[in-house]
Amino acid sequence: MAKLRGRAIGRSTLRRQEIFWFYLFILPWLVGFACFTAYPIFASAYFSFTQYTVFQPPRWVGLANFSFLFHDNLFWHSLLLTFTYAVVSVPLHLFLAFCCALLLNIPMHFMRALRTVYYLPTVLPIAATSMLWLFLFLPQFGIINWVVRSLSGVDGPDWLGDPHWVLPALIIMSLWSIGSPMVIFLAGLQAIPPELYEAAELDGAGVVSRALHVTVPMVSPVILLNLILGLIGASQTFAQVYIMTKGGPDYASYLYNLYLYQNAFEYFKMGIASAQAWILFLIILALTALVFKSSARWVYYGGER
């Protein structure tokens, strides 16, 4: 009995030591999470119900900030623009990333170098790439209009100066950084068992049929992941618009996050900006839930019937 009791005490002491060292090692992360994530979340939730200008203490106003936004035409305009941008850019983004992943999945020489080249735009600073595209979209001397003029003989539009063309220009620019979804698609493609393609080929399936009935269903979970990440990323687009257009011309590129930024850091309406942030969070949450709900119809998980 004494030996068993001694072993139990020793295990208990060892367990307490393991717990102590565990919390000691994750303490830096806990402090960082509490200061830079948890506190801003709860603070913004509180500020969304207050009138807060940074220079004065917050004053409780209840739902006044949300009521102001719901009656603000600029709020609805920026929300509609962001929705349009996401609905158009995300499918194009996923389609192009999937096509590139298919090409980069073909075994050939220098494939690793090619994959690196395709991924490079993703790691480049947004400010630098925005300035690059700013020059590409120049109406007189930009490369894009030079290509249009060379192929069709027609002068290209003023991409960033025309209200009808500025949003398409931003959507075209978004297709530049397909590296992250492309890599995820590539991992999904390489996880498909080759036996499935062999069986489909023996059944007489052609290239298109194998792609539609083998490749797409097998990577549908990856499509779901990239779709959710794409919607979240598109709804938070800010830096490109701030650098290239400032929301113009005539508010034609005035996306939601630019309006939020201006309320917070130019007009110092922190209460309204916090309310905007929570509205955006709820919209993203609803869209994600909707996508997950619909995934039961089109996402295939291996082993499920």
How far, in Å, CA of 166 to CA of 252, rounded? Answer: 7
How far apart CA 270 and CA 303 sit, in angstroms, is 50
Q: Are residues 29 and 106 in the same domain?
A: no
Contacts of residue 275, Cβ cutoff 8 Å, sequence gap at least 6: 48, 49, 65, 66, 69
Q: Are residues 36 and 164 in the same domain?
A: no
pTM tops 0.85: yes
Q: Are residues 40 and 187 in the same domain?
A: no
Q: How far apart are the first and last CA of the chain?
A: 54
pLDDT digit string, tens, across residues 263-290: 999 999 999 999 999 999 999 999 999 9
Note whether 156 and 268 are same-domain residues. yes
> The domain that contains 259 carries what CATH number?
1.10.3720.10
pLDDT tens for residues 186-219?
999 999 998 998 898 888 888 889 888 899 999 9
Count: domains in the chain: 2
- The C-alpha atoms of residue 242 and residue 158 are separated, in whole angstroms, by 18
Residues 259 and 183 in one domain: yes
Q: Over pLDDT 70: what percentage of the chain?
A: 95
Residue 147 and residue 36 share a domain: no
pLDDT digits (tens, 9 = 90+) for 135-177: 999 998 899 999 989 988 888 899 999 999 999 999 999 998 8
What domain range includes position 41?
Answer: 2-47
* Judgement on whether residues 177 and 247 belong to the same structural domain of the protein: yes
- Rounded CA gap, 65 and 69, in Å? 6
pLDDT tens-digit series, residues 90-136: 999 999 999 999 999 988 888 888 888 889 988 899 999 999 999 99
Angle at 280 between CA 242 and CA 92, to 5 degrees: 65
- Tokens read off for 185: 């698609």
Residues 12 and 105 in one domain: no
- The CA angle 227-231-233, to the nearest 5 degrees, is 115
